[in-house]
């Protein structure tokens, strides 16, 4: 049973608009959440993270929102750029287990010029 | 963040053979981790490579199939033994750095078993 779910395998948005990538989790013990971006033929690149004690974290064009009661997090990219086209993975960390991240299956974002 | 280099970046392997993947980090790190991403799947932790002791394997992964070495604080190897087509995956070396449990990945080693 998947503990971290990204229910949209793909998303297409227009350049300049907002991209919203969603992620749901089932384990209430997760205390740290991350987003990674992956281009073809490259390893995943860390993008942004959020601790369970916060509900929002912002870094430039990227904002992650956490709704603990709904066990849901989302990544907002605004404005979206063609270079943002990649696969985005949501990941969650079980408390006290360093190095062990539970990943979703990813959402492929396509930003069209 | 640390620079993580992996070799080989890509290989095509014959069924039944073994391949060793190398991971080099440009700074000393306490913990190194090996992940796998099978086609269309999420990333899954194989094991934690501990310096000076045996690796710690996750459920579903065993030492005989995925022996790991960690001779020092900057280097680790993962061997995929007696390969079958199901082992065709991206194998990723990673380290934890900074605050929280943020993992940084190498470029990955793309293995295809024929």
What's the mean pLDDT in B80-87? 97
Q: Which residue, B88, B103, B1, is CA-closest to B48? A: B103
Picking from A100, A104, A105 by the largest number of B CB atoms within 10 A of its own CB, the best residue to mutate is A100
Per-residue pLDDT at B97: 78
* DSSP code at position B58: P
Interface check A51 vs B, CB under 8 A: yes
pLDDT one-digit tens code per residue, B18-40: 999 999 999 998 889 999 999 88
Per-residue pLDDT at B50: 86
Q: How far apart are CA A85 and CA B34, in angstroms?
A: 26
Give me the total of CB pairs closer than 8 Å, taking one residue from chain A and one from chain B: 63
Does A103 contact B110 at a Cβ distance shorter than 8 Å? no
Percentage, residues of chain A above pLDDT 70: 98
Give the chain B residue nearest A51 (alpha carbons). B100
Average pLDDT taken over every residue of chain A: 94
> Is the sign of the CA dihedral B48, A93, A37, A48 positive or negative?
negative
What's the mean pLDDT in A43-72? 96
Q: Which residues contact B114 (CB under 8 A, 6 or more apart)?
A: B12, B13, B14, B15, B85
Does B1 contact A46 at a Cβ distance shorter than 8 Å? yes
pLDDT one-digit tens code per residue, A1-50: 789 999 999 999 999 999 999 999 999 999 999 999 999 888 999 999 99
Name the pLDDT band for B100 (thresholds 50, 70, 90).
low
Give the chain B residue nearest A49 (alpha carbons). B102
Average pLDDT taken over every residue of chain B: 93
């Amino acid at each position: 049973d998947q503990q971290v779910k990204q229910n949209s395998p793909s998303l297409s948005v227009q350049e300049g608009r907002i991209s919203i990538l969603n992620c749901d989790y089932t384990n209430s013990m997760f205390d740290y959440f991350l987003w990674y971006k992956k281009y073809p033929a490259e390893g995943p690149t860390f993008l942004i993270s959020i601790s369970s004690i916060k509900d929002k974290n912002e870094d430039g064009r990227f904002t992650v929102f956490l709704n603990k009661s709904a066990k849901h997090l989302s990544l907002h990219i605004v404005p979206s750029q063609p270079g943002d086209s990649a696969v985005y993975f949501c990941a969650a960390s079980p408390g006290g287990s360093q190095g062990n991240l539970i990943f979703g299956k990813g959402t492929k974002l396509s930003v069209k010029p | 963040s640390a620079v993580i280099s992996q070799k080989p970046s890509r290989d095509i392997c014959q069924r039944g053979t073994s391949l060793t993947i190398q991971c080099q980090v440009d700074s000393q790190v306490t913990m190194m981790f090996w992940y796998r991403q099978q086609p269309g799947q999420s990333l899954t932790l194989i094991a934690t490579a501990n310096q000076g002791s045996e690796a710690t394997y996750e459920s579903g992964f065993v030492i005989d199939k995925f022996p790991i070495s960690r001779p020092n604080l900057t280097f680790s190897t993962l061997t995929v033994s007696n390969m079958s087509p199901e082992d065709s995956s991206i194998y990723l070396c990673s380290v934890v750095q900074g605050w929280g449990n943020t993992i940084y990945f190498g470029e990955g080693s793309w293995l295809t078993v024929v």
